[in-house]
């Protein structure tokens, strides 16, 4: 599978680069960003953190706003930021921001017209890592993180694939999508009306039933305007207590849903992942 480099910027001794490639899984051209720390430039195979962004975002938001490169360079961790969904003129879309392009929700759609392109679960779990590990000095040691819709994606993907990831974290994740407007809208469109199919993509349901554990950390701002209606971290906490899941859930007074919040705690999250990627 070929990739095309479209931008390169040196940062903290490493390189932030953007690439495009043809995705067979998504049936369209896709773009991703990667930060290669200095250790990778020296030929060392480094571990990777996959970052999944939220509604309306692209590969650029996190890479440009979080300040992740400084600490990634110190720790020797590559950062991979895919787009949030398929793109292209023939890709199904909706006028609303929370459905269609930019709202892939990291699941495999089963309903037309979405199922032709919206196979983000397979893209994140299988196709993209295979491409990354074949194209760059990246090892098979992976962790995963994300924000909001991407936090939902990181948690559900890690919970469904505990042997593929060393650790998982999330900022302001959609923790119980079967019981919130964002999740109900998207699941109805992408997965259909059979709500038993929704359970496989709900972090709280998956955590409640988990039998294999990996370290998990969640950051939530108490001034987040989406906290009560959309995010529901209390459901995730309750689920962890049922299964005994090793979840660290931290609440922070005054912080909202923005990248100011992410930038405030991203260093702690990278150090959390580094501790597990190095073991």
pTM of the model: 0.97
CA distances from 230 to 77, 225, 233 (A): 31, 9, 9
Asked if 201 and 107 touch (Cβ cutoff 8 Å), the reply is yes
pLDDT > 70? residue 41: yes
Determine the pLDDT at residue 52. Answer: 98
- Residue 7's pLDDT band (boundaries 50, 70, 90)? very high
Which stretches within the chain are classed as H helix? Answer: 38-41, 60-65, 68-75, 120-122, 128-135, 149-160, 181-191, 203-209, 233-243, 259-277
Determine the pLDDT at residue 178. Answer: 98
Percentage of the residues of the chain whose pLDDT score is greater than 90:
97
pLDDT digits (tens, 9 = 90+) for 10-28: 999 999 999 999 999 999 9
257 annotated active-site: yes
Catalytic one of 23, 145, 148, 172: 148
- Residue 104's pLDDT band (boundaries 50, 70, 90)? very high
pLDDT > 90? residue 158: yes
Asked if 105 and 129 touch (Cβ cutoff 8 Å), the reply is no
Catalytic one of 147, 152, 201, 257: 257
What is the rounded average pLDDT for all residues in the chain? Answer: 97
Nearest to 134 by CA among 51, 21, 37: 21
Three-state SS for 25-45 is CCCEEEEEEEEECHHHHCCCC
pLDDT digits (tens, 9 = 90+) for 113-133: 999 999 999 999 999 999 999
- Residue 44's pLDDT band (boundaries 50, 70, 90)? confident
Determine the pLDDT at residue 42. Answer: 81
Determine the pLDDT at residue 218. Answer: 98
CA distance 77 to 35: 8
pLDDT digits (tens, 9 = 90+) for 162-201: 999 999 999 999 999 999 999 999 999 999 999 999 999 9
pLDDT > 80? residue 227: yes
Asked if 38 and 234 touch (Cβ cutoff 8 Å), the reply is no
Helix H or strand E encompassing 51: strand 46-52
pLDDT digits (tens, 9 = 90+) for 235-251: 999 999 999 999 999 99
pLDDT > 80? residue 1: no
pLDDT > 70? residue 279: no
204 annotated active-site: no
Place of tokens 């809208």: 185
pLDDT > 90? residue 262: yes
Mean pLDDT of 43-55: 95
Catalytic one of 59, 93, 202, 224: 224
CA distance 44 to 76: 9
224 annotated active-site: yes
Asked if 3 and 19 touch (Cβ cutoff 8 Å), the reply is yes
């Amino acid at each position: 599978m070929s990739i095309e480099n479209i931008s390169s910027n040196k940062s903290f001794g490493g390189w932030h680069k953007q690439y495009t490639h043809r995705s067979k899984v998504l049936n369209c051209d896709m773009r991703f960003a990667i930060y290669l720390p200095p250790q990778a430039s020296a030929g060392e195979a480094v571990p990777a953190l996959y970052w999944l962004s939220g509604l309306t975002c692209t590969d650029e938001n996190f890479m440009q706003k979080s300040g992740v490169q400084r600490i990634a360079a110190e720790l020797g961790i590559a950062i991979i930021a895919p787009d949030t969904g398929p793109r292209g003129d023939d890709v199904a879309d909706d006028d609303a921001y929370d459905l269609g392009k930019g709202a892939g929700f990291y699941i495999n759609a089963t309903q037309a017209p979405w199922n032709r392109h919206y196979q983000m679960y397979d893209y994140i779990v299988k196709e993209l890592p295979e491409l990354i590990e074949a194209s760059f000095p990246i090892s098979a040691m992976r962790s995963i993180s994300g924000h909001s819709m991407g936090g939902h994606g990181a948690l559900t993907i890690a919970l469904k694939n505990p042997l593929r990831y060393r650790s998982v974290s999330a900022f302001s994740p959609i923790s119980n999508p079967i019981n919130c407007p964002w999740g109900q809208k998207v699941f109805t469109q992408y997965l259909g009306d059979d709500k038993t199919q929704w359970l496989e993509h709900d972090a709280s349901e998956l955590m409640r039933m988990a039998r294999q554990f990996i370290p998990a950390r969640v950051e939530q701002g108490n001034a987040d305007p989406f906290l009560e209606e959309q995010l529901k971290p209390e459901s995730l906490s309750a689920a962890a207590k049922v299964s005994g899941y090793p979840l660290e859930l931290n609440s922070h007074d005054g912080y909202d849903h923005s990248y100011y919040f992410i930038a405030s705690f991203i260093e702690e999250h990278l150090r959390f992942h580094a501790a597990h990627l190095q073991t």
